[in-house]
Amino acid sequence: MRIAAILVAAVFLAGCGAHEEHAPAAAPAGALSDTDRAFIELVIPQDESALELVTLAKSRETSAALTELTGKIDARYRTELAQLRALLAEAGVPETAQHEGHDMPGMITRAELDAIALARGTAFDVQATQALKTHLREVLPLVRGEQTAGTAEPVRKLAADIERNRTAHLAQLG
């Protein structure tokens, strides 16, 4: 189900012009294409769900590796959220929670968070690590779609930064 959702999102973000030989035309400063806006509106809840897991992990005794990674994610995602919201504001686009309650690729769902919250010790670390790995992997098609089909250079740049960070976090998880 999640793989199918990833493919749908990737196709949506890649757009119909993905087969053309040229890059999409750049949007005017502050303007967002539908792809840019969709990317932002998908990454915000993804980051927020991951931050819920990070907050949960901070309340537990976790492995040194998980503690280090969740610290990095916490700082990075809070910065990203501010950047994403600033891009919406600059374009005059109100932030909406249109994906609230949806089980989207890259989301750590309420059910997953609840199950992880019940775990203790090593079981918590294993479940939290698996949820983070899945989250980090599933956002990659979205950032690649934005880099391919997005038109707002600041959003494309942020997508490239997100890809680098997610890939580094995945490498850290092993």
Task: Say what the alpha-carbon torsion angle 174, 71, 56, 3 is, to the nearest 10 degrees.
Answer: -40
Q: Domain of 36: which CATH number?
A: 1.20.1260.10
Assigned domain for 22 exists = no
What pLDDT band is residue 106 in, cutting at 50, 70 and 90? confident
Nearest Cα residue to 41 out of 95, 111, 91: 95
**Residue/partner pairs of 96-104 with CB below 8 Å, 24 or more apart:** 96/41, 97/45, 98/41, 99/41, 99/42, 99/45, 100/45, 102/45, 103/1, 103/2, 103/5, 104/5, 104/9, 104/42, 104/45, 104/46
Assigned domain for 97 exists = no
Assigned domain for 124 exists = yes
- Residue 64's domain comprises 2-14+29-90+103-173
Residue 100 pLDDT greater than 60, yes or no: no
d(CA 61, CA 85): 32
Assigned domain for 24 exists = no
What pLDDT was estimated at residue 93?
87
Average pLDDT of 87-108? 77
Model confidence over 26-58: pLDDT tens digits? 545 568 999 999 999 999 999 999 999 999 999
Three-state DSSP class for residue 129 = helix
What pLDDT band is residue 137 in, cutting at 50, 70 and 90? very high
Looking at the structure of the chain, the number of domains it has is: 1
The structure's pTM equals 0.80
